[in-house]
């Protein structure tokens, strides 16, 4: 049996002719930028999140960059984030001229270690950037309180966690800004790329809008130096088509994760820790084992599309060699990079597929799958 990581067609549904007709009309009519379709999606996403202010942008990376710029963060400033995140988090901080400060992560949750976060705050710190990694929400109350105590901004990197909640409140609505990605791999995906930024209040939303639209206030009146990073109308229409199904898709991901946990129980591997107050959306389902590389080869040989996220931690990437980070500096992040493996999880994955994956994992360990 072949078990795939992605099934892009599933998110479009079986009857896409109304969507195709809309896209055709938009193409013929020249409706491409900042149209009614974009405003509609922004309003729908705001309602879904329980937020007031949402702006679509070109990518998840751009979302982080314009959020930082809207807060005036740049050269001479430090932004603290975690050592096991994707390149875009640290890249965005670097692109605005600020200095990324990394802290290690909790070995059970794989999220930022809050004690180390507190210890990393210094006189140049301007913002904290926690990452809701793999679809698991970072507990935000303590981080927000810490930021308020030190007069810092909070930018949530929620690229992997749309729909995740903490005690019913959506991620990306706790900080000054929250950032999403609509890359094709994400739980809510565009047909290409896209992103969005949630703002805490109207003042921040306007600062964000200026950064998104070349610093303009009115046509050709540029009051700040900004970017040109708008979510295009075609992608907005596609995202509006998919958004009503997101809760159901995320719920299926949670069920699939539960099936995996049940069937792999008792094996010499572990999972990302869960908390009662959270709603995890399982963008990725990670298993942790010291035999990761051998298990990876075993599963790929059986036509299972497994992948490593991320094999080289950010502080050891060549792009950031000038930062002076060294091997061994963030031991938990390095250990997770050696031991984590993503099993296939999709909003349409079947229990038969999960059963096959579980059987193959158990075969590797010389065991029999439960259930």
Domains in the chain and their CATH numbers?
A: 8-103+110-244 (3.40.640.10), 246-365 (3.90.1150.10)
- Cα end-to-end span (Å), the chain: 19
The partner residues of 195 in beta bridges, in order of sequence, read 57, 181
Question: Taking the model in full, what pTM does it have?
Answer: 0.97
Q: Which residues of 60-80 are buried (b: 16+ CB within 10 A; e: fewer)?
A: bbbbbbbbbbbbebeeebbbb
Per the CB < 8 A criterion, the answer to whether 257 and 280 are in contact is yes
- 169 backbone φψ class: left, alpha, beta (φ>0; ψ -120 to 50): beta
List the 195-199 sheet strands across, edge first: 53-57, 195-199, 177-181, 153-157, 125-128, 78-82, 99-103
Could you list the mean pLDDT of each consecutive 10-residue stretch along the chain, which spans 371 residues?
95 92 98 97 99 99 99 99 99 99 99 98 99 99 99 99 99 99 98 98 99 95 96 98 98 99 97 96 99 98 98 98 98 99 99 98 88 64
What distance in Å separates the CA atoms of residue 235 and residue 184, rounded to the nearest whole number? Answer: 11
As given in the structure block, the two tokens for residue 203 are 């003042």
What average pLDDT is seen over the chain?
98
Backbone φ and ψ for 170, nearest 5 degrees, come out as: -70, 140
pLDDT tens digits for range 171-213:
999 999 999 999 999 999 999 999 999 999 999 999 999 999 9
**What pLDDT digit, counting tens, does each position of 36-73 carry?**
999 999 999 999 999 999 999 999 999 999 999 999 99
Q: How many CA atoms lie within 13 A of 280 on its CB side?
A: 22
């Amino acid at each position: 049996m072949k078990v795939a990581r992605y099934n892009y067609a599933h998110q479009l549904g079986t009857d896409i002719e109304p969507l195709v007709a809309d896209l055709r009309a938009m193409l013929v009519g020249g409706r491409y930028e900042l149209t009614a379709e974009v405003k509609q999606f922004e309003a729908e996403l705001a309602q879904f999140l329980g937020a007031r202010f949402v702006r679509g942008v070109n990518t998840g990376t751009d979302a982080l960059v314009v959020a930082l710029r809207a807060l005036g963060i740049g050269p001479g400033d430090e932004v603290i984030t975690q050592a096991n995140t994707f390149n875009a988090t640290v890249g965005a901080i670097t692109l605005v001229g600020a200095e990324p400060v990394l802290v290690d992560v909790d070995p059970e949750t794989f999220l930022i270690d809050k004690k180390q976060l507190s210890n990393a705050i210094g006189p140049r710190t301007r913002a904290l950037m926690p990452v809701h990694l793999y679809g698991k929400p970072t507990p935000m109350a303590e981080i927000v309180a810490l930021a308020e105590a030190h007069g810092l901004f909070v930018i949530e990197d929620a690229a992997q966690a749309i729909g995740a909640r903490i005690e019913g409140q959506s991620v990306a609505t706790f900080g000054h800004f929250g950032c999403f990605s609509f890359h094709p791999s994400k739980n809510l995906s565009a047909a290409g790329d896209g992103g969005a930024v949630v703002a805490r209040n109207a003042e921040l939303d306007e600062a964000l809008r200026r950064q998104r639209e070349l610093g303009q206030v009115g046509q050709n009146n540029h009051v700040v130096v900004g970017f040109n990073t708008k979510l295009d109308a075609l992608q907005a229409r596609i995202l509006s088509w998919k958004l009503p199904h997101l809760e159901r898709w995320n719920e299926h991901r949670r069920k699939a994760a539960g099936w995996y946990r049940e069937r792999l129980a008792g094996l010499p591997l572990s999972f990302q820790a869960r908390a009662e107050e959270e709603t995890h959306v399982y963008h990725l389902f990670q298993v942790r084992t010291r035999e990761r590389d051998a298990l990876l080869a075993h599963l790929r040989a059986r036509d299972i599309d497994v992948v490593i996220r991320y094999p080289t931690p950010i502080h050891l990437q060549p792009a950031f060699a000038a930062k002076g980070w060294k091997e061994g500096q963030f031991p938990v992040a390095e250990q997770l990079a050696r031991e984590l493996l993503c099993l296939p999880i999709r909003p349409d994955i079947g229990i038969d597929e999960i059963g096959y994956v579980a059987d193959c994992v158990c075969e590797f360990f010389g065991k029999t799958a439960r259930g």
